[in-house]
Amino acid sequence: GNSVTQMEGPVTLSEEAFLTINCTYTATGYPSLFWYVQYPGEGLQLLLKATKADDKGSNKGFEATYRKETTSFHLEKGSVQVSDSAVYFCALSGPGNQFYFGTGTSLTVIP
Amino acid sequence: SQTIHQWPATLVQPVGSPLSLECTVEGTSNPNLYWYRQAAGRGLQLLFYSVGIGQISSEVPQNLSASRPQDRQFILSSKKLLLSDSGFYLCAFTDTPNSPLHFGNGTRLTVT
């Protein structure tokens, strides 16, 4: 079946530190992969996506590469800011437009 | 452009009272529509999804129900709320295969 596993949080980093949030998936076929961000009290916003193997999604300094060989889609950012504090969700879309989400990783960036 | 509206933003209801949350989508036709619930500090739980008017699939048996009276309108209801229904309810849509989910701003429901 389809599932997403992402690293447990919470993650606390100092401003300008390097960020990695791990995400691995299990899927039948060739899913699309997504990262979403949720700021406190808000809905989820699409951060980036990748639709096929070796695609790199990027947005706002965040990047993630669709790695079919390791079934991974790790989120990275070279220098985090306080404004990046949020919960991050990894997700995949499977057949029939079904979506599978990880449990979310809370990130806090301290000045 | 496509937009999704969800209301109300917050709601406080007593146990045993009814519930109606509404979601509408603009700028697209025949979207797939979804209701999710997010308990405090937890991940997303899919409650219902719909691929067309009157077509509702339920993922979790509970005292909630969903309806889709129009192409771009999705309603979440309950006849009698339970304390355990408290949470953050999110409506979402997609409109093409492999496109991402687009979420509304959510409704914070507190059952007292």
pLDDT in tens, A43-98: 999 999 999 999 999 999 999 999 999 999 999 999 999 999 999 999 999 887 88
One-letter identity of residue A11: V
pLDDT on residue B96: 84
Q: Which of A7, A20, A35, A6 is nearest to A93 (CA)?
A: A35
- For residues B23-29, average pLDDT: 95
Residue B106 · residue A42 · CB < 8 Å:
yes
The pLDDT of residue A17 is above 80: yes
pLDDT on residue B42: 74
pLDDT on residue B61: 66
Q: Do B106 and A42 touch (CB under 8 A)?
A: yes
Mean pLDDT of chain B: 93
Task: Please tell me the distance in Å from A34's CA to the nearest CA on chain B.
Answer: 7
Residues 6+ apart with CB under 8 A from B108: A41, B9, B10, B11, B88
Query: Which two three-digit tokens encode residue B84?
Result: 């355990």
pLDDT band at A41 (very low <50, low <70, confident <90, very high): confident
The pLDDT of residue B40 is above 80: no
- Does B67 contact A at CB distance below 8 Å? no
Beta strands, E only, chain A: 3-6, 11-14, 19-21, 23-26, 32-38, 44-50, 56-59, 62-65, 75-77, 86-94, 98-101, 105-110
Q: Do A32 and B103 touch (CB under 8 A)?
A: no
The pLDDT of residue A4 is above 80: yes
pLDDT on residue B62: 79
The pLDDT of residue A29 is above 90: no
pLDDT band at B28 (very low <50, low <70, confident <90, very high): very high
- Does B101 contact A at CB distance below 8 Å? yes
Q: Do B43 and A104 touch (CB under 8 A)?
A: yes
pLDDT on residue A58: 98
Query: Which two three-digit tokens encode residue A7?
Result: 């690293």
Q: Could you count the other beta carbons within 10 Å of the beta carbon of residue B53?
A: 14
pLDDT band at A108 (very low <50, low <70, confident <90, very high): very high
- Does A45 contact B at CB distance below 8 Å? yes
Residue B93 · residue B101 · CB < 8 Å:
yes
Q: Which of A89, A93, A101 sits opposite B98 (nearest CB)?
A: A93
Q: What is the pLDDT of residues B55-74, one digit of tens each?
A: 999 888 679 999 999 999 99
Locus of tokens 């809370």: A106
Residues of B in contact with A91 (CB under 8 A): 101
Q: Do B46 and A41 touch (CB under 8 A)?
A: no
Residue B105 · residue B9 · CB < 8 Å:
yes
- For residues A4-14, average pLDDT: 93
Termini Cα distance of chain A:
42
- Does B90 contact A at CB distance below 8 Å? yes
pLDDT on residue A97: 82
Q: Which of B69, B72, B111, B108 is nearest to B92 (CA)?
A: B72
- Does A46 contact B at CB distance below 8 Å? yes
- Does A53 contact B at CB distance below 8 Å? no
Give the residue from B21, B101, B102 with the most A CB atoms within 10 Å of its CB, the best one to mutate: B101
